[in-house]
Amino acid sequence: MKSQLYNKYSIYLKEKYGEKVYKIPINLPVTCPNRDGVCGVGGCAFCGEEGTGFEMLSNQYSIRKQLNENKAYIGKKYGAKKFIAYFQNFTNTYMPLEDFKTYMEDAIESSIVEIAISTRPDCINEEYLKVLQEITQKTNINISIELGLQTVNYHTLSKLNRGHGLAEFLDAVLRIKNYGFEVCTHLILNLPWDSQEDVIENAKILSIIGIKQVKLHALYIVKDTLLGQWYKTGEVTMISLEDYIERVICFLEYLDPTIVVQRLIGRAPKENTLFVNWDTSWWKIQDKIEQKMKEENRYQGRLFHYTNGPAVKHFLDE
């Protein structure tokens, strides 16, 4: 059996920074081009008014205040001294360039070792990447960019009203990689229109394009969203927890073993929702996934042998 079932983020961070590092969420007063009419209205079918983040401080607080309050709390609870400033909610590159520069610079201080920026693939632009490049050159702070993709199935993306397809994601990843920043991709493995085949294709495309990290979520259904309406009328149904667990394991098996896995399932608020994580806590689901992997001797990268012309490899072995 493999010593590590999958490439865990906490271990990766410890090796990279030499000690435990924690992410501190920062909430900016920004919106999203899929809500304000630039590329869509109403947002993604699953996105509620609060956006995608929760458990965050008010976006009316300054970056310094959010950092200090969260650092005091997390630092005390876990004895942490180094942190990642995580611009989490909505689309954190969707703003005038000068504002973006100011926000990023405001997050810089000695205990911050990395800035992580969550955004949409269609909001990655060279000018914004150059701002980040200047920051790394001046300060040595690492930059990572978290791209919401959710699935490589562009038919599903269209049903979700994402306002972008797979091509925009590929374009964004290639551009970001030119600057040497790490890319984390967010995926949802239980989207109602996706099959096991799509799950495998997710793993293959992320592995081939060379992203560095992946973050998995299970779809949760917020009241008063389009998805909520579909769920209530039975237009969409959710797969079982057992099926979700199998999808996650299958995804990991096809995933390049060097990709870092930030999480196997997200935490989600119970309030204002119709469906959340099969009414099971996220860590119990994580335990079940790990237990099944151990029992069945399955691990990340077990089926990662589809690259570099696998059909001709037998000629080379002869």
Residues that bind ligand SF4 (CB under 6 A): 32, 34-35, 43-44, 47, 51-52, 90-91, 120, 148
Q: How far is the CB of 290 from ligand SF4 (least distance, A)?
A: 28
Q: Which is nearer to ligand SF4, 9 or 94 (CB)?
A: 94
Q: How far is the CB of 131 from ligand SF4 (least distance, A)?
A: 21
Q: Which is nearer to ligand SF4, 10 or 125 (CB)?
A: 125
Q: Which is nearer to ligand SF4, 164 or 204 (CB)?
A: 164
Q: Which is nearer to ligand SF4, 186 or 204 (CB)?
A: 186
Coil/strand/helix, residue 260? strand
Q: How far is the CB of 31 from ligand SF4 (least distance, A)?
A: 8
Q: How far is the CB of 88 from ligand SF4 (least distance, A)?
A: 10
Q: Which residues contact 56 (CB under 8 A, 6 or more apart)?
A: 25, 26, 27, 66, 88, 89
Q: How far is the CB of 162 from ligand SF4 (least distance, A)?
A: 7
User: Distance between CA atoms of 243 and 241, rounded to whole angstroms?
Assistant: 5
User: Distance between CA atoms of 307 and 310, rounded to whole angstroms?
Assistant: 6
Q: Which residues contact 24 (CB under 8 A, 6 or more apart)?
A: 66, 67, 70, 71, 74, 83, 84, 85, 86
Q: Which is nearer to ligand SF4, 90 or 181 (CB)?
A: 90
Task: For residue 125, give both structure tokens.
Answer: 């632009």
Task: Fill in the amino acid letter for 14.
Answer: K
